[in-house]
Amino acid sequence: MRPLILFAALLLSACQTLPPPAALPPLQLAPAAFGAELSLAQRLTVTDVPDDPSGAVTERQLDTLLQVDAQQLQLAGLAFGQRVLTLNWDGHELKVQRHPMLPAAVDPARVLRDIALVFAPLPALQAALPASWTVDESGNERTLRQSGETRLTVRYLDGRARVEIDNRAEHYQLRIESRPLEGG
């Protein structure tokens, strides 16, 4: 009887320690994998979507300058005209400078991943994903799935001047409004 109780206790404790669903995979594509140069001014609007429907929805905005060429990806984030985030990615090392007041939720690896999901060619994304992950494109929509379950959707609007990311896995939505930089 005692081994049975011990086994039941072990089983119950295992249920309590089930890992949460896997986070989205990191996508650190080399800048050359983007296949084209980008030089964009952007307005990002992030909406946090709480797990609990009665929870407060928060929205934040950030202006960015994004430049991608074959050697590097650079992003500067600006709030009220002040630089709050700088990312430099050369395909090997991600260098980050951030203002102390920038919320910790702004994760440079997520930013890099979201840039890749929006702007990288589909074959480059497909080649970079782990085994249980897929990404496909249909019309103006790109869908990232894990074992067939939709985890993130990218919608392209107005050509590609506006993009919406619905990140179900990490509970946020991101709206990106882009325009070419002058002289870029």
Q: Is residue 35 part of a domain?
A: yes
Q: Is residue 40 part of a domain?
A: yes
Q: Is residue 13 part of a domain?
A: no
Domain total for the chain? Answer: 1
Asked if residue 117 lies in contact with residue 27, where contact means CB atoms within 8 angstroms, the answer is yes
Quick: pLDDT tens for 70-127.
999 999 999 988 999 999 999 999 999 999 988 888 899 999 999 999 999 999 999 9
Higher pLDDT, 15 or 126: 126
Q: Is residue 19 part of a domain?
A: no
Whole-prediction pTM value?
0.85
Instruction: Provide the residue range defining the domain that includes 68.
Output: 25-180
User: Three-class SS string for 78-124?
Assistant: EECCEEEEEEEECCCCEEEEECCCCCCCCCHHHHHHHHHHHHCCHHH
User: How far, in Å, CA of 81 to CA of 133, rounded?
Assistant: 38
- CATH code, domain carrying 34: 2.50.20
Residues in Cβ contact with 96 at an 8 Å cutoff, skipping those fewer than 6 apart: 85, 86, 87, 88, 108
Q: Is residue 16 part of a domain?
A: no
User: How far, in Å, CA of 42 to CA of 20, rounded?
Assistant: 33
Q: Is residue 46 part of a domain?
A: yes
Using pLDDT thresholds of 50, 70 and 90, give the confidence band for residue 22: low
User: How far, in Å, CA of 110 to CA of 25, rounded?
Assistant: 9
Q: Is residue 113 part of a domain?
A: yes
